[in-house]
């Protein structure tokens, strides 16, 4: 897995973000007319198990090593990845990514971890160039457990052809670090890690822990991001190139859902160093109790 580092948007980054973004009243992107588009990928998790013809389960120490100083090992286990048919507010089955406290867990590469969790992607199953991709998601612990880091994002498939991160391109459609807001971002050759190409949003109706739909519209000239149909950020290829940076989003991407714990991004926000980087004892207790789950009702791509 590529290294991914993020921190809370600061004043300078916010100023640059404002210069790069376009307001919600700007002209709609071509992808905004997706009502006439064909659905090319859909999973509502209606089966009893994860559909592995659509999703690949990734494992720490086998598919990649640890990045961002995250504290979990990703494993392929029904403890951490399963379908739940009894979730309030969901339309049917729900994918649950459920971290567990397992002190001393040893990954295939021999490294030890105190937490295990789940990560799935459409790598080698479904890749796409341009279109609308969206997911209906419920954040864990009402988005108030510091250091929990669920994410919904896509990654340039050229990484499988030897193109390293970040030159393959990464798109973060939703990230949350246990605070009452979510963020979006692009990571490319000259803008990655603490990337200035980003925005955050709070929830106007005050329910960050409720069900929400997170969406990216991607066309050959840029991206527009939405939460519940409300535009929160727009960035264009022209703006990136005007800044002297490289646009790397005209090749296939695949989607990823994962649930990380602690690490550089949460720590950059909450400043916690003990008992784990970015992960306070109160959140460790919630993970140990089994209450922290990241839930996905459905995922859809239209092109």
Q: How confident is the model at residue 92, as a pLDDT?
A: 85
Which is higher by pLDDT, 4 or 213? 213
Reported as a pLDDT band with limits 50, 70 and 90, residue 35 is very low
Q: Where are the beta strands (DSSP E) in 242-281?
A: 253-261
Q: DSSP characters for 5-28?
A: ------HHHHHHHHHH---TTSPP
CA–CA distances in Å: residue 285 to residues 104, 115, 145, 290? 17, 12, 10, 9
Give the C-alpha separation, 40 to 46, whole Å.
Answer: 18
Which is higher by pLDDT, 4 or 302? 302
Give the C-alpha separation, 232 to 195, whole Å.
Answer: 17
| CA-wise closest residue to 58 among 146, 138, 118 | 118
Reported as a pLDDT band with limits 50, 70 and 90, residue 279 is very high
Indicate the range of 35-39, 103-107, 281-285 predicted with least confidence: 35-39
What average pLDDT does the structure give for the chain? 90
Q: How confident is the model at residue 70, as a pLDDT?
A: 98
Indicate the range of 17-21, 38-42, 71-75, 236-240 predicted with least confidence: 17-21
Percent of the chain with pLDDT over 90: 86
Residue-wise burial string across 7-21, b where 16 or more C-beta atoms lie within 10 A, e elsewhere: bbbeeebeebbeebb
Q: How confident is the model at residue 19, as a pLDDT?
A: 39
Q: How confident is the model at residue 206, as a pLDDT?
A: 84
Kind and range of the H or E run holding 284: helix 281-289
| CA-wise closest residue to 2 among 167, 128, 136, 117 | 167
Q: How confident is the model at residue 37, as a pLDDT?
A: 79
Q: Judge whether 277 and 69 are in contact, CB under 8 Å.
A: yes
Kind and range of the H or E run holding 288: helix 281-289
User: How many residues can be counted in the chain?
Assistant: 303
Report residue 264 as tokens.
Answer: 């550089």
Residue 7 has pLDDT above 70, yes or no: no
Give the C-alpha separation, 259 to 28, whole Å.
Answer: 32
Q: Where are the beta strands (DSSP E) in 29-99?
A: 39-43, 56-57, 72-74, 81-84, 94-97
Domain boundaries, the chain: 39-302
Kind and range of the H or E run holding 113: strand 112-117
pLDDT tens sequence across 215-273: 999 999 999 999 999 999 999 999 999 999 999 999 999 999 999 999 999 999 999 99
Give the C-alpha separation, 69 to 278, whole Å.
Answer: 9
Reported as a pLDDT band with limits 50, 70 and 90, residue 152 is very high
Which is higher by pLDDT, 266 or 7? 266
Report residue 271 as tokens.
Answer: 């400043």
* pTM listed for this prediction: 0.91
Reported as a pLDDT band with limits 50, 70 and 90, residue 79 is very high
Q: How confident is the model at residue 91, as a pLDDT?
A: 86
- Contacts with 15 (C-beta within 8 Å, 6 or more apart), sequence order: none
Residue 9 has pLDDT above 90, yes or no: no
Q: DSSP characters for 205-231?
A: TS-TTSEEEEEEEEETTEEEEEETTEE
Order of strands across the sheet that contains 72-74: 72-74, 112-117, 100-106
CA–CA distances in Å: residue 217 to residues 199, 268, 284? 15, 29, 36
Q: How confident is the model at residue 281, as a pLDDT?
A: 98
Residue 282 has pLDDT above 60, yes or no: yes
Residue 275 has pLDDT above 80, yes or no: yes
Taking residues 26-55, what's their average pLDDT?
A: 77
To which residue do tokens 């990845």 refer? 81
- Contacts with 50 (C-beta within 8 Å, 6 or more apart), sequence order: 57, 81, 82, 83, 95, 120
Percent of the chain with pLDDT over 70: 88
Q: Does domain 39-302 have CATH number 2.60.120.200?
A: yes
Taking residues 172-186, what's their average pLDDT?
A: 98
């Amino acid at each position: 897995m590529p290294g991914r580092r993020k921190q809370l948007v600061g004043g300078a980054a916010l100023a640059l973000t404002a210069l790069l973004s376009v307001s919600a009243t700007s002209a709609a992107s071509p992808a905004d007319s997706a009502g006439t588009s064909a659905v090319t990928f859909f999973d509502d998790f209606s089966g009893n198990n994860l559909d592995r013809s659509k999703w690949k389960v990734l494992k720490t120490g086998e598919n990649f090593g640890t990045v961002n100083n995250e504290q979990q090992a990703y494993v392929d286990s029904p403890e951490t990845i399963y379908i739940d048919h009894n979730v309030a507010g969901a339309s049917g089955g729900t994918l649950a990514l459920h971290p567990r406290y397992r002190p001393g867990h040893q990954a295939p590469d021999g490294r030890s971890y105190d937490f295990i969790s789940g990560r799935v992607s459409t790598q080698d199953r479904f890749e796409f160039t341009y279109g609308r991709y969206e997911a209906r998601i419920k954040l864990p612990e009402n988005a108030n457990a510091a250091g929990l880091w669920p994410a919904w994002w896509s990654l340039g498939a050229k990484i499988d052809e030897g193109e390293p991160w970040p030159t393959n391109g990464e798109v973060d459609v939703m990230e949350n670090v246990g605070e009452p807001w979510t963020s979006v971002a692009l990571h490319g050759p000259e803008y990655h890690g603490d990337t200035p190409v980003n925005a955050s949003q709070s929830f106007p109706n005050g329910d960050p822990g409720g069900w929400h739909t997170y969406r990216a519209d991607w066309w050959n000239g840029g991206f527009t991001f939405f939460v519940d149909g409300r535009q929160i950020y727009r960035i264009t290829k022209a703006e990136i190139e005007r800044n002297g940076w490289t646009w790397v989003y005209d090749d296939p991407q695949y989607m990823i859902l994962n649930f990380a714990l602690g690490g550089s991004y949460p720590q950059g926000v909450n400043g916690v160093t003990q008992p784990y980087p970015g992960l306070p004892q109160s959140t460790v207790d919630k993970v140990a109790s089994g209450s922290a789950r990241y839930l996905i009702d459905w995922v859809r791509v239209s092109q």
